[in-house]
């Protein structure tokens, strides 16, 4: 035998967004191992929003997995499997920041953590921003909006102060376009 093969997949937990599985994998040497697999059922979108002065809108919020606040680009999951990610990106921008994009352009697609998860995130660039009335947050959200210079965000990525994969990817993709 010369290839890896999944011989069983067992659902361990069904969550509101994620399903967690235990896979039994047959290795090329014939032995078996248990591997974790996380399925993100909806997919997501994030948006790097550039203000007229060139600053980038970021959101600061508490993340339970890290037990601290993080600085990120606005993002969220699709409402349905059929929802276009551009609609998701526009909605999340408006809800989390209170801004609407005059122009929204997809710049990148990524898988967040390929070792154990299939989450797909489309990254959008938002320009021609218009300030609306304010944020429209979910009950469980407490999000502060901040404006940052691209150079400062890049330095925070390089120094490890920003570690969120979608945020790092969005910042670096935008920097490469400039």
Q: What is the DSSP-derived secondary structure letter of residue 79?
A: S
1 vs 26: CA distance, rounded Å: 10
* Sign of the four-CA dihedral 139, 141, 142, 143: negative
* Cβ–Cβ under 8 Å, residues 74 and 126: no
Nearest to 40 by CA among 15, 61, 75: 15
Tokens 């490469």, residue located:
176
Crossing angle of helices 165-177/150-159, nearest 10°? 130
- Work out the angle at residue 87's Cα, subtended by the Cα atoms of residues 133 and 57, and round it to the nearest 5 degrees: 50
Phi, psi of 70 (to 5 degrees): -130, 160
Consecutive H or E run containing 37: strand 32-40
- Could you confirm whether 139 is annotated as catalytic? yes
Q: Single out the catalytic residue among 139, 146, 151, 155.
A: 139
Q: Among all residues, which ones are annotated catalytic?
A: 139
């Amino acid at each position: 035998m010369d290839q890896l093969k999944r011989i069983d997949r067992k659902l361990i937990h069904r969550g509101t967004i994620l399903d967690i599985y235990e896979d039994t994998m047959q290795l090329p040497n014939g032995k078996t191992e248990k591997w974790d697999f996380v399925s993100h059922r909806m997919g997501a979108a994030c948006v790097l929003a550039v203000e007229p002065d060139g600053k980038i809108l970021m959101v600061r919020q508490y993340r339970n997995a890290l037990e601290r606040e993080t600085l990120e680009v606005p993002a969220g999951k699709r409402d349905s499997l059929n929802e276009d990610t551009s609609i998701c990106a526009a909605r999340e921008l408006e809800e989390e920041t209170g801004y609407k994009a005059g122009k929204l352009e997809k710049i990148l697609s990524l898988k967040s953590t390929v070792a154990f998860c299939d989450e797909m995130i489309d990254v959008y660039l938002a320009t021609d921003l218009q300030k609306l009335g304010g944020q429209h947050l979910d009950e469980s959200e407490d999000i502060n909006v901040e404006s940052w210079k691209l150079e400062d965000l890049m330095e925070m990525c390089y120094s490890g102060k920003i570690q969120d994969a979608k945020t790092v990817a969005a910042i670096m993709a935008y920097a490469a376009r400039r």
